[in-house]
Amino acid sequence: MNEVRALAAGTGVPSVWGPADKSFLGTSTTAGSRVYFTGHRGIVSEVFYPVLDTVNTVDLQFMVGDTAKTFVDEEKSQSYTVTQPDKRSMRWQAVTTNSGHNWRITKTIFTDPKRNTLIQRVKFDALGGKNVTQFNLYLLHNPAMDNSGAGDTSKTVTVTGTVTRTMLVASENSRASALAISRPWKTLTTGGPPMVSSGFVGETDGWTDLLGGTSDKTMSWRNDLAGGGNVAQMGWVDLGASAVTSLSFDVVLGFGATETEATTTASATLGDNLATLQTTYDNGWKTYTGALNSQGGTADDQYYLAAMALKSVEDKSNGAMIAGMGTPWGETSGDSNNGGYHLVWPRDLFKFASALVTAGDTVTPPRVVNYLFNTLQQTSDCGAGEYNAPGCPQGYSRVGRFPQNAWVSGWQYWQGTQMDEQAMPIILAWRLGPAVYNPLWPKIKKTADYIVNVGPWTQQERWEENSGYSPSTIAAEIAGLVCAATIARANGDTTSAARYLAAADYWQQNIDRWTFTTTGHHQPNGRYYIRINPSLRGNTGSGPQVYNPVAGPDAAIPVTHGNGGGTHDQRYIIDGGFLELVRMGVKRANDPSIVDTLVEYDAILRQIIPDKGKAWFRYNYDGYGETKEGANYDGVNGRGRLWPIFTAERGMFEIATSGNGADGSPYLATVKAFSTPQGFIPEQVWNTTATITGWQVTTPGSATAGTPTRSMSPLNWAMGEYISLLASIRAGKIVDIPSVVCGRYNACVVPPASNEAAVSVNVSATTVVGQQVYVTGNTAALGNWNTDLGIPVFTSTTEYPVWKSRVNLPASSALQYKYYRKNADGSPTWENRPGGGNRSLSTPAAGGTLTLNDTVTW
């Protein structure tokens, strides 16, 4: 039968997205191509165009049959390998084989650097004494135009020109694709029509034609049009009549705003020299990687892959970077989840943009910061609260606020507020220096003001599920405010700087009182940071007391956790967020509260995977993952698995603890061991079966512990952490810790500048609970006598009443200084000096050191 028809509109089974575990991804480094591609099991999966949040293809694969009509194989179901022929390029080679059926397909996959076209250079090999005339080869394409599997139209289009070609065109709204090949399509009769067809998935598509219940394992349908549904396209590739064992040809998928633009683009690519295009594509990536920091020669192939993978998710229209090129568990997720991970999360963006700073990319991170403040930052107040904003075009907004996540355009997706996401853009701007942050100061100020007005309480913590006081969120907020204060002072706004530091210091001094329980349920002594204190902010008092929670971390407050995690006493749930206090420079690695928490954290959430290493769960009773039986995440019955980012975080913590980079090396090796064969680091890997505080987390029989789950691979956050950990190993310290933060809170040693001397402060002073000792003086580094800009000094239970800190002061200078203590209400009490005078010091020459040993009376 050779049936020709146009199909009725609006049919086809419900569409789903492609699997999230990718075997390749990439794009050209050039602005001339805005096509971004991914692959799963050796076939092309989601293709994004013209921006990174817009899917237009779910999969593109071959179907292989024999002319005797005894079998048809799906390419994605066969054994495969995916490699980078050149480790410094995002060009991929996928080899798929069914030796039992005597065929092999080798594809080289990249994009046209000059055009919006995906290119596959294909070689089909007949094995086992067979030749190509004994096979039928079909190309099957499932479009999902304009980020929707439904509502597409597919048709056959004949394009005339230098070469007349028959293409399969799909379109919806202002998105169109054109599928074409360099060989002819098969015809069943001489001069007959080409065997290409459009159909509705699961009903009249090519897969159903070849493999449906009554199929004869050969293409029979030829439908010229399928409109308004979940469509699929198929073409029968003419392998010719010559009994050769190997045949090469090219497949291109062109895109455009119209069908004509898409077909014109596809024709232009096929008419070009594809070998030259491949070389140009490779050279773009080699230029990019050649300019990166080799970390003293320690950078390995996975480091460069991580950097290139991150560069591949930078949208070429405005510098946005998405969290992941896909949708977790996409094969069971449809159009109702049209965002997936291909959205912008300011937190994820901060993490991997910071990694690119570390990697030596001097172009991408500044674009990111400008995107954050010029596109993503909100500029108006609308709505009563999160998810309560009727009449607001983008939903809830506040001046200076960053949305929970957004489309590449900056249009808000979900409406939650995560306060770490407010702080992180400021930290990134600070890290890039005055040339970046000074022009943005008016916008940075708006966000910093928002943090002071709303924080430290957050409507959502970093796992996007609960409100309250979160150690990881508060760590970011403190760091953000200290960085904002530095930027404010650079721009002459000492009033704002003082306000930011006053809040940051109060939060730093009270984070244990807010989030560290001393009556916890877990052994050995019930002393640890909890995941979150769900209390509301008190908003009482006229001073910093306004930031205090209504209830503390020792109260028996029930918390309901997302994803079916249940309701538990706040003291029962623990996670690794407290390590952000060290990563952000807010606490020393050997801080007693940090050390106390490590015991429970490791006992409850750590697993050691044989032959791989240490890994951690997010938190006990985490439901974000596959079910115990291994079915895809359903929002209710899931079990969170192990996250490689925590292995990387722990590696950096160990380096911070010892100052020895080698202490991070085992963790780097483990992260690498958790990666895919291509080097992609997943969001989650399978655990070994365990009971975590009564929460059964079973490993399905089909899963291997330490290998990627079906959540998301690669997770761009995880790829960035690989870069950061490798660089930290070489440096012997956490490379992206904000020095202005750890320096202020005596959590690191900041080397003095060329015109400075290092001064150690040791002062004996008595205080009561809620009081903090400071030093100020007649130089900017000491705050110029402003009690909100002074330098805090620190003590511990073993050192009290001696308080210590370190500050870099102008070299060879005669200075005055004085101590004071801040009371719980923020008011200062100056030291009682005879006659009320100031202290004096003379700093040594540049590079020198000085130690102050003082005693204070009040």
Enter the tokens of residue 362: 């001097």
Which residues, at least 6 apart from 835, have a Cβ–Cβ distance to it below 8 Å? Answer: none
Enter the tokens of residue 6: 């146009």
DSSP one-letter code for 782: G
363, HSE (Cβ side, Cα atoms, 13 Å): 12
Q: Which segments within 127-242 are labelled E, that is strand?
A: 135-143, 152-159, 165-172, 175-181, 196-200, 221-229, 231-237
Owner of token pair 């002073």: 765
* Distance in angstroms (rounded) separating the CA atoms of residues 142 and 13: 12
C-alpha distance across the termini of the chain, in Å: 100
* Distance in angstroms (rounded) separating the CA atoms of residues 267 and 265: 5
461 noted as active-site residue:
yes
Q: Is 766 helix (H, G, I), strand (E, B) or coil?
A: coil
Greatest C-alpha distance within the chain: 111
Nearest to 471 by CA among 548, 535, 529: 529
Which strand (E) or helix (H) includes residue 83?
strand 79-83
Helices (H), 212-341: 259-270, 274-290, 301-312
Enter the tokens of residue 286: 């080699």
DSSP one-letter code for 251: E
Catalytic residue, from 203, 261, 331, 464: name it.
464
Which residues, at least 6 apart from 777, have a Cβ–Cβ distance to it below 8 Å? Answer: 783, 784, 785, 815, 816, 817, 818, 838
Other beta carbons less than 10 A from residue 409's beta carbon: 14
629 noted as active-site residue:
no
Look at strands 849-855 and 756-764 and give their pairing: parallel
Catalytic residue, from 421, 461, 477, 756: name it.
461
634, HSE (Cβ side, Cα atoms, 13 Å): 8
Look at strands 221-229 and 3-7 and give their pairing: parallel
Nearest to 399 by CA among 328, 334, 453: 453
Nearest to 448 by CA among 473, 424, 432, 471: 424
* Distance in angstroms (rounded) separating the CA atoms of residues 683 and 697: 17
Owner of token pair 């204070």: 856
Which residues share a beta bridge with 62?
139
Do residues 706 and 609 lie in contact, with contact meaning Cβ atoms separated by under 8 Å?
A: yes
Which residues, at least 6 apart from 283, have a Cβ–Cβ distance to it below 8 Å? Answer: none
Do residues 127 and 73 lie in contact, with contact meaning Cβ atoms separated by under 8 Å?
A: no
248, HSE (Cβ side, Cα atoms, 13 Å): 6
* Distance in angstroms (rounded) separating the CA atoms of residues 47 and 151: 18
Which residues share a beta bridge with 603?
none
* Phi–psi pair at 342, nearest 5 degrees: -85, 55
Which strand (E) or helix (H) includes residue 566?
strand 566-569
* Phi–psi pair at 632, nearest 5 degrees: -60, 150
* Distance in angstroms (rounded) separating the CA atoms of residues 59 and 141: 6
* Distance in angstroms (rounded) separating the CA atoms of residues 529 and 766: 27
Q: Which residues are catalytic?
A: 461, 464
